A = this chain, B = another copy of it.
Amino acid sequence: MANGNSFGVLFSVTTYGESHGGAVGVVVDGCPPRLPLTEADIQVELDRRRPGQSHITTPRQETDRCQITAGVFQGLTLGTPIHIMVHNQDARPQDYSEMATTFRPSHADATYQAKYGIRNWQGGGRASARETIGRVAAGAIAKKILRLAAGVEILAYVQRVKDIEAQLDPAQVKAEQVEANSVRCPDPEVAAAMIQAIEAAGREGDSLGGVVECIAHNVPRGLGAPVFDKLEADLAKGVMSLPASKGFEIGSGFAGTYLTGKQHNDEFYMTPSGWRTRTNRSGGIQGGIANGEDIVLRVAFKPTATIRQAQNTVTLSGEETVLAARGRHDPCVLPRAVPMVEAMVALVLCDHLLRHHAQCGSLVFPEQGSSLRISPAAPVSS
């Protein structure tokens, strides 16, 4: 499927829907059968993503109640496609009538028009952040598989808003700290400063950007692939496909380029349960393959493009004009980007979990009552 609305090879998702169309949704294919799954498993993540959840997010009111209409039977997944949909409720297309003819700077209006010769201009259409509902819903399933099958835990948080930065050890951050405040920064004092800054920007009709950091614990050693589908490459694609993302780092990232090889390398040592690395500048991935250490990555999100301040722009018919956006929007996307980043990381890791299992796991078919191995594994000291 070559049109960019699908993601993943074995655990694959396809999303559809526009901001003010009837509904947005997702088809999840490749989920292992007999996974316990309810709408509540998904709703908890959608609630972290939905608009109107706090005074620093857009006031658009959407409860974003999800429905599973296929793929689950008596509380268990069937192994066939899971379809989850959310109906749009608080649509006010009239708030966006101006956008029918005027391109918002740094938004997708002009490029969609150039590509397709048409666009649904109501609330951004397909370019709206509502598109991410399907990703977050699918990510909730991926998280559950990763947790049950391998104990993987994924946690993202806001590390910086503009120049207000939290000094954090990723390995020590707890989910409760992240969810304890509306900006999703685990340091409460920094969080308070961030909230103030976002409120101020909102009052001025301006917007802010920043950095989301994400850590994945307990990722099984061996996930990934050596060439084009390196684990960091697929993670980069996943998060760089989120609206407003402008940069990606794994492990030491750009800062690591100021070190020498001797300073940067992660030395190995032995533990009773196998080798480990003393440092983790690799960010949990070496040669495209997980090494069992925490995966740590960072994503830059630009300040929201839609602002209330007046800006110079052009119209569909080619006239210069000035636009001061109405409609509802977030003065800072970071707090709601946290569950989106977690979802994309989960989708990548779950897909690679199944892919690694397919090629390198033992061929075990329980219904044949036997474990069929192609050949004995070479001894691995881990």
- With a cutoff of 8 Å between Cβ atoms, the chain B residues found around residue A259 in the complex are 209, 303
Verify A115–B356 contact, CB threshold 8 A. yes
CA of A254 to CA of B52, assembled, Å: 27
A125 within 8 A of B: yes
A367-B288 contact given A249-B246, A260-B207, A355-B358, CB 8 Å threshold: no
> Which of A14, A206, A225, A266 is most buried by chain B, counting CB atoms within 10 A of its CB?
A14
CA of A80 to CA of B149, assembled, Å: 26
> Which of A105, A256, A268, A318 is most buried by chain B, counting CB atoms within 10 A of its CB?
A268
Verify B221–A230 contact, CB threshold 8 A. no
Q: Who on chain B is nearest to A201 by CB?
A: B260
Verify B288–A241 contact, CB threshold 8 A. yes
- With a cutoff of 8 Å between Cβ atoms, the chain B residues found around residue A264 in the complex are 106, 209, 302-303
CA of A216 to CA of B260, assembled, Å: 30
Give per-residue flags for A207-237: 1 if the beta carbon is below 8 A from chain B beta carbons, else 0.
Answer: 1111100000000111011111110111111
A57 within 8 A of B: no
Interface residues of A in 350-382 (CB under 8 A from B): 353-368, 371-382
> Which of A226, A249, A365, A378 is most buried by chain B, counting CB atoms within 10 A of its CB?
A226
CA of A37 to CA of B346, assembled, Å: 36
CA of A262 to CA of B6, assembled, Å: 33
Verify A4–B228 contact, CB threshold 8 A. yes
- Number of chain copies forming the complex: 4
A160 within 8 A of B: yes
A111 within 8 A of B: yes
CA of A328 to CA of B312, assembled, Å: 56
A29 within 8 A of B: yes
Verify A260–B206 contact, CB threshold 8 A. yes
- With a cutoff of 8 Å between Cβ atoms, the chain B residues found around residue A243 in the complex are 287
A240-B230 contact given A14-B81, A78-B119, A257-B160, CB 8 Å threshold: yes
28 contacts between A and B (CB under 8 A): A1-B8, A4-B227, A21-B69, A33-B359, A77-B118, A78-B120, A79-B118, A106-B265, A111-B289, A112-B287, A112-B289, A149-B373, A149-B374, A150-B372, A207-B261, A222-B367, A232-B240, A234-B237, A247-B248, A247-B257, A256-B302, A259-B303, A264-B302, A267-B312, A270-B314, A316-B381, A361-B363, A361-B365
